[in-house]
Structures are given as C-alpha cells and as structure tokens.
Structure 1
C-alpha cells in the first residue's frame, strides 16, 4: 500500500505545474525612508500617472503604449467619444505628454503629441472641471501639470521655428486635430517690440537664492528679456520681467477636427488668474527665475572699478526700475552701499515679491552710484533723479498718490545718502564746510557751479519720502576708513569731472583761486566721508530729520542676534544705532545684512506696517481662529 505521502505527492506536483504560469502571490516589501517619501506619487515608472496606468491595464492597452503609440491615442479618443468621462480625457492628456517626451529627439513628431496633450488638458479644464464639487481632486491638479508641461514644450518648438509672433500657421496634433494659430495676445506691461526674447523658466535653475518665489497654477512661466535703452523707463542691464504663457484653444463650429489656437502672454505681476470655461484658475507664477537670470551675466564694470572711476562708469549710475512704472504701487527705492550696485538687492527683492500684498502695492526701484564719489554729491544725484521723476508725473498729469508715499531703504553708505532726503540743511553745511569766507568763495565760481554747490550743501527734504529704513549704516563713521586699505582706496579714487575737471570743475576752480590746496580734494571721496572724524559726517549728525517721517534701523552683529553692541565687521553698533528709530532689529550678520533672511523678514514687516497706515489700502492682519482658544495659541507659540 502507498503511504499518505505517496498519494499527496502527485497532487502537489500537479498543483505546482498548474501554477507555474501565474504571477507571484500578492505581498509587500519594506522600503526605506527615502522611498517612503515617494508614497502617494502620481507618477509610475514609465512617466504615466497611476490612474492612466490603471486605465491602460484595465483595457489591455499597456503594451500598445510601447508598441503602437499612434494607435493607442486613437483608441483612447474613441473611448472618450463613446464614454466622455473626465478620467478618460485626463488619461489621453497624460499619454500624449509622455509620448511627446519619448520622441524629443524628433521635434516635428514630438510637437504633435505635446499639442494634443495641451488640447486635451485644456478641454478637460474648460468643459469637464468641477472644482466646486471636487476641490481636492488629485486628477485635476495632475491635468494642470500636464497642461503646463505641454504648453512649455509647444512654446519651445514655436520659438525654435520663429513662430511666436506669427499667425495663420497650422500644426496637426497626434490625435489628428488641425490647429490653426491666431496672432498671439500680449497682456504685458511693455509693447511686444520692447522684448528681445522669451525664455522658458523651466529651462533654468536659480542658484544661491535663499527663497524660491513661485506659485502653483496654470500656464508656463517665462523670462521676458527687455531690450536695452528703452525710452519708456530706465532699466538695469539685462533686465527681465516675469510672465506666464497660456495656450488657448477654440473648437471649430462645423468641423471638430479643426481647432483655433492662440498664445496669450500674461504679466505675472499684474495678473493672478485666468478665465477658463466657467472657472477662474490661478496662474502659475515664477518670480525667482527671471530675477536670477537677470543677474547671471556680469556687469560691464566690477565693484572696484565702479568705485574708483566714477566718470568711466557713469552710464551705470542713476535711478533704475526693476519693473515698468505703475500709478497704483508705492515706490520702494533701494540705495546700495560701498563698492556695490543695484544687484545687491536681488536677494531681498526676490523674497519680498513673493508676498502678494507687497507685490500688489509696491514697486521696487534701485539707485546706483559710484561709492567713490563724495556722499553729498551722490545724495544730490539721488535727490535730483527722484525729483525729476516727481516733475515728470506732474507734467504728464498722472496720479501721484502712491508716489507720494515713497519708502527709502539704504544699506551702509546708501543710508547716508538716504537720510539727507528727509533733512533740511538750512545752511548747516555750507559755512562750516567752506569757511567764514564762503560767500567770496562761491562768488569765484560760475553761476552754474555756484548753483551746483548750493544744491549739494543746502538741500531740502523731499516731501514724497514718507519712511526710511537704515541697514548697517555708519551714521558716525567706521574706523575702516582710517585703515591702510581705506587710505589707499581713497587715494586711488578719481573724483568725477563735474567736481575736479581742470580749470572748469568746481574743485579745479576753487584751487585756481586759492581756496583749496591741491591735496585737499583727496579728502572728499566716499571713503573719506566714512571717517568718524570727517567733518561732513559729523555735521550730518547734527541735522534733525523731517518731523513725521518714521525711520527704522536694522543692524548686524557678527557674534549674536538681539544684543545691542558689537559690530558687523565694518560698522559698530554705536555708529548704526539711532535713538529716535521707530524700531531696531539686531541680526546675527556680517556687514551684508541686507541679504540676511531675518533682516529681509523685518523689511517685510515694516513695509506691511507702512501699508496699514493708509485706510484706502486694504491689507488684512492675520488673526488666530477663535476655535483654537488662548491655550492652543500659547501651545502653538
């Protein structure tokens, strides 16, 4: 007789043979912390999202994705016509996008898939999207991302073919729809002719920014390169502006395979959303990448040359705007310090413009000057540029309400320039600096030179400056100016011709009449003005600020934050501190405190405070929900 084992052996063997062609049993594998972060990702290994992969698997179409992509897309279109469900259209867009990426080496083939992906996702958002019913739908967010990526790929193809500004050309999608493009729509702050190029933000990765200013939404963010030397406004070198591209579609009335397409360029700073079907959808916005691109090319002159040769670098000097002038935004004028230029503010601008209230109500300007110039001379240039802008607005009849609420932010030497704009000199400088015989000295000058000196030393406060922020400002000087390096630097600076031109300039004329000795001119450079014993610096300290203008101090301390005292390595606390400041913040920082994240956060607070003082500007103050209660609030803190 056979044993029980003998009877069971053939049965087990047969079961093993029958199961040989089946898949492995369902199970799990333990993953590590890195893989755990990918839990819930919408993408599968082949680029498709999980819902699309599920649909293809359920319809036994997964193999077609690899073997017959054109046929797959046609089958999905047929499926959607027979059963027009949103998830089917979303899958079509997903498949088309990824097939376009697969054929990237053949742009003429890839664009058909990308155009199809843009069309399908646009149709989904325009006709089938129900955000009110499904506000947390992962599918609709995925479709928006597909649309954005596809729009960017179509843009790159059209740019490569020089078609961005054209109309009447036709492209065919991989699904067979024929798209005829209308002339593009430009909703940008400057005319289309003012831009030299449009670049895709996704092609660039910002570096060394402490903050990424982006917002999720619809569209492909762009870098708009502005042509140099525009008449409308003075921009800095390599100026860029942010924009968002939308690719719009309209189906034909008689033939659904005929579609009209149009590119629409939206100004990211002035437009937050776009109407698509029955819904208004936020625009995708990227403010960091255009700003980083603007700063990636070196300036024509280095920091040292800019300081030592004011005349040679004069084209870099003056008032700059980082965006076209807007009547409904308050100017924030940023004034850099020693051996610097307007780009020193990029970190701050990048962070501040991410705040929607600041972006809506402020416009950022920069004033650039050679820090080798005497402080009073540079301050005069700043004053004249701002006054010229005020006169221009008045002459053209444009509104000045917001202009008259101007905020100045000065770093280091720039703070010395800035504070003169809220001072009335009232002859506190002319006689002490020029001597008891200053009237005879002035009489020896030409009328133009006399006016020049008087305006430089006997200035009045500008009425439209309503708040000033001082960052690491040497109000009482810095011993750095007395160091060997400081003295050598001062001796190398070539003062501008308007001051020292032989026989014609102010200093040259005063020398010729014996009022100045030849070596006196060397003691009025910007570095000399930072000497704690410098007469100009000491006299400025005696002039009060215009009443009613609040001012703030942000001070660096290399060793510890929040502690009055110490130094930022260049300027000691005793020199930066002002008794009458509305607020004072000491951050742990070197002298470049204007780039410190906590200092920038303080600037944000001050600018919001400035807005709240005007009743016509509605800026909400965040409040803790009552449901949390006092105990919860204390716990949160």
Structure 2
C-alpha cells in the first residue's frame, strides 16, 4: 500500500516538474484560477460604463479594451494617442465597425486635446484634429450597421455623441478665431466656402441673427457659462454644439446724438424695439457622403447653424435626429451684461445714463407662428424682474412651442398715463413693423403679464377710457387744462383709449389697482421728492402744467407734474379714476396676490407694499394667494401659476380657433 502511494506521488511530482520546465501556464504555476471575481463598487460601475476623456480624463473602458484585443501598445496609445496608434487601428478593417470607429473617435479626441495644450502656433493643426474627432464620431453615428435609434439606450452612443458635440464646439470656436473675417464675409450667403488647411468648409446658415446682424462679435460655448441668480439651466439633449452668438446689436437710447461736433448734434431716430443680442444657436458639422469610406476620404464639410427655438430635430442620412439646444445661456448672458440694475435706478431719479423712453426687447427673432407674451415690470425695476419667470417659461416645451416673450423696459419715474401711452405706441409700432396686415398668429391672442406698477399699465392696456380721465385731469389742481387751448389734442392719447387690439388675457401680479398707502407716507413721499422727470416729457405734457412760481423754467414746470410714485398713492385722484375703468369683456384676467403672513384675515393682509384690498379684482378667472413679499413674481409658486394659466390659455385658444375662422397656425419647431 505504501509502495502504491509513493509511486502516485512521484508521478505527480514529475508532471509538475515538467510543467515548470516547459514554462507552464498560469493555472499550474500559480495554483489559482485564471479568472477571479469580486464585487464592483458603484463608483467603479459608473467609471466602467460612463468614464471617458471628458468625464474622467482617461480613455473609456471600451476604447482601452479595443486597444488590448487588437494587440496595440496599450500604454503608448492611452498615454499619447499617437498618430501611429490611430493609423494602426484605422487599418484594422476586419474589426467591428462600431468598435473601431468609436475607439478612433476617442483617440482623435485625446490627440486633439493634447495638441491643443502643447503645440504653439498650430491652431490649424489643432482645429483639423477636432474635425477628425467629429468625423469619426459622425461615422459611428450614421455609417455603421445599426441606426442611432437602434442604439438609443446604449451608453456608448451617448459617449460618442458627447465627443462629437464637444469636437464641434472646439472646431467652430477655433474656426471663429481663425476665420472671423471669412465668416463675416460669408455668413449671409448660403453655401459660402472657405479653406482651412486641406479642408473645404461651407457655411449653411439656418438661424437669423438679431437685428439683421450678419455675424457674431463673440461665439461662446453655452456649457462654459455658469450663472448665479438663475434657478435652472434649461436645455435639450441632442446632436450639435450649444453656443451663444453675441452680436453688436445693443439698443441705443432714442435721444442719443449722431456723433456730430458739440453744439451741432442732431437727434438720431432708432427703433423703440430690438431683439435680444445674445441668441442661443446650435452648430452641427455635416459630412455629405454615401458610404463610410467616402466619408473618411473626404475633406469637405458643412457648418450648419440652427436656431434651437425654431428647429428641434434634423434629417440626417435618413435618420430623424434630435437637435441639441440651450434655452438659458443667451438670456442669462444678456442680463448679466445689460447693466439694467444700475440703469433702472438712474432712470427712476432722472440721472444721466438712465432710460427715458420705453424699449421693447424681443427674447428671440420675431416668429410669426408664435403668440406673444408681453411682460411689464414694476417701479424702479427692469427686465431683470422676470429673470426666472421668462427662463422657466422657456423651459416648458409646450409654452416654448406656442409663445415668444417680449419684455417692456420703461422709465418708472414717468407719470403712469405717459408711460401707458408710450408703451402702447411702441408695442403697436413693433407689431405693425413685423406684421403690417395683422395676418400672422403673433398679432392675435396676446397675453400681458404685469407686476406691480406694470400691472397697472397692463390694466390700462385692456380698459376703455372715454371722458373719465379727462374729468380727472379737469379736477386735479396740479393740471391746468385752460392752458392747452388748441394743443388739447396732445393729452388726448393719454386720457382716451380703447383696449389694445389682439390682447386676450392678462395676469396681474401684486398689482396696486387702488394704490397703496406706502406711496403717500414717510419713505414713499421722500423718494417721490427725489424723482426728477426727463425734459423730453415736456414735449407732450409741459403746456398743461403751470409753474409754481412766475418763471417758466423747464425744471420748475416738471416739479408740478405728478410722477409715478405720486400716482401709486391710494389717495391720488388718478388712481381712483383708473380703478373705475371697465376692463374689456373680451379679455380674461387673473390675479396673483402676495401676503407676507399666512395667518390673519385675507382682507387685512398685504405684501409689504400692496394691500389685498388693492390687489383683488372682482371678475378674475382665478386668484392665487401666495405667502411672499412684494416680489412674488419670482417665487416658484407664482411661476407654476403663470404656467398653469398659459397652458389653459393654449387649450382654449386652439379650441376657439378650431371653431372659427380666426388666424390659425402652428408654432412647434420644424425639421430640416
């Protein structure tokens, strides 16, 4: 028995020795399994599935795997993304197309990132590398066996799309720096071509820049802009680089001179409206090819520029592809650079570089297929009052599809009837300019949203005044109608009017329809005393107001004209007169009312400035009470309520349009 055991033992010993002598396999030499397993942590899982150059600064796991299985030098490829590695992988035609092209896209991405930071005086080479990144990602997306829709749930496609979008962003911003003059020359022409190295590029412009600008002054990546003061950044995932095109189309004050020598200045005439000068655009690099080989051999591409508010998808190579879009960056950049916060205060007190005429801002180039929301801010304010309201309305696809936003910016020191008449004039002129025959959807179904004094102006916009305000003017001791004589007609547009045509709905937010006690006491009276009205007001109102002394000096005349704070006083005769004007029965209206404290009788509540008894309106379709201070329009509850009102308005508007011959249309984005 012992002899048998010894024989068995020696036989195994000989086998093991032979295995060692021959080099052996790992299983034998190490006496352990060839594959080990352990639990993966959540961080490791995320890194494996989603980690890549853009997220982790390292090649993705699938690209590293491709390098390994093809026998390339893993460390050389991963560390340097050498062109030799790229060329070797390019030659491996027997490798699965999706695997090879996606790995090549990331290797080109690494190469482009490397030379962008290390190679000086070689921006052309850098831009060409970014184009190669975009080209190989494009080949993966549209020239492999499966369509983008078939890979919709795959993380790899999301990675490749992100590499493409980032490469397009880098390509276009670098092209803008290298070829700014060429782009300026060709931006207005379809299919205009220019060269970069061995590439021929054509610009396909599908987005109109604001105020007829031909090319941007700056082109900024939207994802590189961080904002404070905005509660959310709203965008749409898809194909393309999200950019902000900054133009030179800043509005100029209507009373600016024309630059003539001192003493010879002539007033310049400017439109009282302008489009926001920082629109969001989406850029796509398109490659016209029928096969992947044709695509990878070509050196021609198309730079397609789109408006994400107008288009939400493209047709590329037989595929319906969502178009990326950012709806916040341009708006946020405009407000950040506007200087409204200081200008509105200077305007209130009549200081230099303040605003003295209303101006209308269109938040996007005029779209005849979208109805218009007109927003009017309150005292000592500006379009900044709507910073989160406008932004979050644009975040709602249904509202974005139906409406375009216009914001009124007006001097809040002016008498309310003067501001009302001027705003009417500006709004009417803008609508006539864009739609002279009132044939488009934009001229019908307007919605007004007014906060505080802006709500008072909105109410006048939808009210009828025949002799009521003339009676007020005749009884107000500050006004001398006898001095008007033949110029009496100067005041008629201020005191007699009909509801503004086309307005269907109004939202009053913290509006002092019957004035406020604060305006007539203490701090309110002190601030009112500091207000100085602009001399331009005299051209319309001066003759109606007597001087306190014998002198007829302009400054003395202006002292007698009631300013905006005077007319917010609950005891002011003008407020009492306007509170009795009838609102058109063709207009639906809603109230959003703030109260500082949740407890206590509603009738006795206020928001710190406006009491409930002044903000409440009988006949409103809805009244929303929100616990807040006076700036209630910026609260989440208020924005939710405005969104609810607008969504209901859409349903009612289209139901009415379906049953009548009224103007109809479609405002949803279109394909290309």
| Post-superposition offset of 1:310 | 7.5
Partner of 1:206: 227
| Post-superposition offset of 1:411 | 0.3
Deviation track 1:318-359 (CA, whole Å, cap 9, x = no partner) reads: 322222222211111100001101222121111111222211
Pair 374,23 (structure 1): closer, same or farther in 2 beyond 3 Å? farther
Partner of 2:130: 114
Deviation track 1:509-529 (CA, whole Å, cap 9, x = no partner) reads: 798799xxx799557111111
Pair 560,18 (structure 1): closer, same or farther in 2 beyond 3 Å? farther
1:25-44 equivalent positions in 2, closer than 5 A:
26-28=36-38, 31=41, 40-43=49-52
Partner of 1:378: 419
Gaps of 5+ in 2: 187-191, 252-268, 658-663, 668-672
Distance 1:311 1:428 in 2: 36
Q: 1:148 pairs with 146, 152, 165, which one?
A: 165
Structure 2-normalised TM-score? 0.80
Partner of 2:461: 421
* More moved, 51-60 vs 526-535: 51-60
Structure 1-normalised TM-score? 0.84
Partner of 2:258: none
Q: 1:460 pairs with 478, 498, 502, which one?
A: 498
Q: 2:68 pairs with 57, 65, 71, which one?
A: 57
Distance 1:537 1:235 in 2: 29
Aligned-partner SS, 2:511: coil
Count of matched residue pairs: 605
* 2:111 is equivalent to residue 99 of structure 1: yes
Aligned-partner SS, 2:242: strand
| Post-superposition offset of 1:419 | 0.1
| Post-superposition offset of 1:263 | 1.0
* 2:307 is equivalent to residue 267 of structure 1: yes
CA contact (8 A) 1:478 1:575 kept: yes
1:233-382 equivalent positions in 2, closer than 5 A:
239-251=277-289, 257-299=297-339, 301-309=342-350, 313-314=354-355, 317-382=358-423
CA contact (8 A) 2:531 2:563 kept: yes
Aligned-partner SS, 1:468: strand
Aligned-partner SS, 1:187: coil
CA contact (8 A) 1:244 1:265 kept: yes
Distance 1:524 1:393 in 2: 35
Q: 2:90 pairs with 56, 77, 89, which one?
A: 77
CA contact (8 A) 1:233 1:325 kept: no
Aligned-partner SS, 1:570: coil
1:500-579 equivalent positions in 2, closer than 5 A:
500=538, 505-508=543-546, 521-522=559-560, 524-560=562-598, 564=602, 566-579=605-618
Partner of 1:610: 649
1:435-514 equivalent positions in 2, closer than 5 A:
435=475, 441-445=480-484, 447-448=486-487, 450-500=488-538, 505-508=543-546
Pair 115,465 (structure 1): closer, same or farther in 2 beyond 3 Å? same
CA contact (8 A) 1:115 1:150 kept: yes
Distance 1:619 1:187 in 2: 19
Deviation track 1:141-196 (CA, whole Å, cap 9, x = no partner) reads: 22211110110111122122135616655456xxxxx4322244343355551643
| Post-superposition offset of 1:133 | 3.4
Partner of 1:157: 174
* 2:235 is equivalent to residue 196 of structure 1: no
Partner of 2:155: 138
Distance 2:141 2:577 in 1: 66
Partner of 2:143: 127
Pair 563,111 (structure 1): closer, same or farther in 2 beyond 3 Å? farther
Pair 400,294 (structure 1): closer, same or farther in 2 beyond 3 Å? same
CA RMSD of aligned residues (A): 3.9
Distance 2:203 2:45 in 1: 48
Pair 282,459 (structure 1): closer, same or farther in 2 beyond 3 Å? same
Distance 1:236 1:392 in 2: 12
Distance 1:511 1:353 in 2: 53
CA contact (8 A) 1:316 1:369 kept: yes
Aligned-partner SS, 1:103: helix
Distance 1:95 1:493 in 2: 64
Partner of 2:630: 591
Gaps of 5+ in 1: 173-177, 621-637
CA contact (8 A) 1:374 1:525 kept: yes
CA contact (8 A) 1:498 1:505 kept: no
Distance 1:46 1:522 in 2: 68
Partner of 2:661: none
Partner of 1:625: none
Deviation track 1:415-457 (CA, whole Å, cap 9, x = no partner) reads: 001101111112112123322999x953522544x22222212
Pair 73,34 (structure 1): closer, same or farther in 2 beyond 3 Å? closer
Pair 503,134 (structure 1): closer, same or farther in 2 beyond 3 Å? closer
Distance 1:360 1:426 in 2: 38
* More moved, 92-101 vs 281-290: 92-101
| Post-superposition offset of 1:60 | 3.2
CA contact (8 A) 1:332 1:408 kept: yes
